[in-house]
Amino acid sequence: MSQLKIKMKEKVFKEKRISANKEKIKKLIKKLKVVYTDVDSTLVGQGGSLFRTADGKLTMLPANALLKCHQHKVDITLVSGRSSHQLQEDARILGLKNYLAELGCEIVYNLGETVVLNVGNFFNKKGKPHDAIANSGAVELLFSSFPGYLEHHTPWSEWRNCTTVFRGYIDISKAQKILNQNGYGWLQLIDNGVIQRRGTLSPNITEVHAYHLIPKEIGKAKGVLKDREIRKIPKESCIAIGDSLSDSELATVVGAFFLVRNGLIEDNKLLKTLLETENAFVTEEEMGLGFAQVIELLLEED
């Protein structure tokens, strides 16, 4: 990590950590009703476990935070790049009912009783948006442009309705430029953060990210905004918690956004965004412990 990035990281943490902004946060959130949370590396810890910290130790704190939300009738809405097929089981096990799948492209209520497709006006014909993207040639273009550095994020690339998901390590700006120059300006490639599964990628890759190819101008923030409109949720009654650049965009549509500390490994664009975003804060703890810290602050007894 460069010295510039280290200094930037230290500056963000110093100015934006929760413990230094408690009163400000409580003024932003009048009465907490909904928590929009990412899943991987945010709600859950090492290995995708609710009971593991970032370094693999056992903990009950994230589970206790979820229980506290249930007791206070605060709705936990999962917002993830995962498919609705995956999130349905995640939500059911955790006692949750609502979730936004595939980066907000599908808004699901009551474990699938109602599903709202949120992909803009591009797709006005029958068939899944995922199939339209898969059959467009855009996927093959990206693979040929970044050989060995991008592949399908199997098995999670299956059972999808709206987006195509990859793993790898590429220059997002360069990839988007390639898409635009070849007639795929109606699509955007989103970086959804660092993951562990390496698959058959080049051994030269130092870290692996999850990428989603989705309809342009759609994403987590648009999904949360749509959900707020449908359920009539005031901005000052909801928060968002995440670990990536795509999560940080939620700050524009909620009362307060919290980046779990492990998210500070992201690029300088994320760090700069946090410094410039008035209602964005960083937890002292990582992953599920960071999630628990936020819940404890907002639901602590007066």
- Examine domains 3-108+219-299 and 129-215 and report if their fold is the same: no
Residues 200-251: tens digit of each pLDDT: 999 989 899 999 999 887 899 999 999 999 999 999 999 999 998 889 999 9
Q: What is the mean pLDDT of the chain?
A: 92
Domain ranges of the chain: 3-108+219-299, 129-215
The pLDDT, as a whole number, for residue 266 is: 67
Residue 120: per-residue pLDDT: 76
Distances from the Cα of 150 to the Cα of 18, 112, 143, 202, angstroms: 36, 32, 6, 9
Confidence of residue 139 (pLDDT cuts 50, 70, 90): very high
Q: Which residues of 248-275 are buried (b: 16+ CB within 10 A; e: fewer)?
A: bbbbebbbbbbbbbbbbebeeebbebbe
What is the tens place of the pLDDT at every residue in 15-74?
999 999 999 999 999 899 999 999 999 999 999 999 999 999 999 999 999 999 999 999
Q: Identify the architecture of domain 129-215 in CATH.
A: Alpha-Beta Complex (3.90)
Superfamily for the 3-108+219-299 domain: HAD superfamily/HAD-like (3.40.50.1000)
Section 116-131 average pLDDT: 74
Q: How distant, in Å, are the alpha carbons of 50, 75, 111 from that of 95?
A: 13, 10, 10
146, two tokens: 């970044």
> What average pLDDT does the segment 80-105 reach?
95
Residue with tokens 């704190």: 61
> 1-16: per-residue pLDDT in tens?
677 778 888 989 999 9
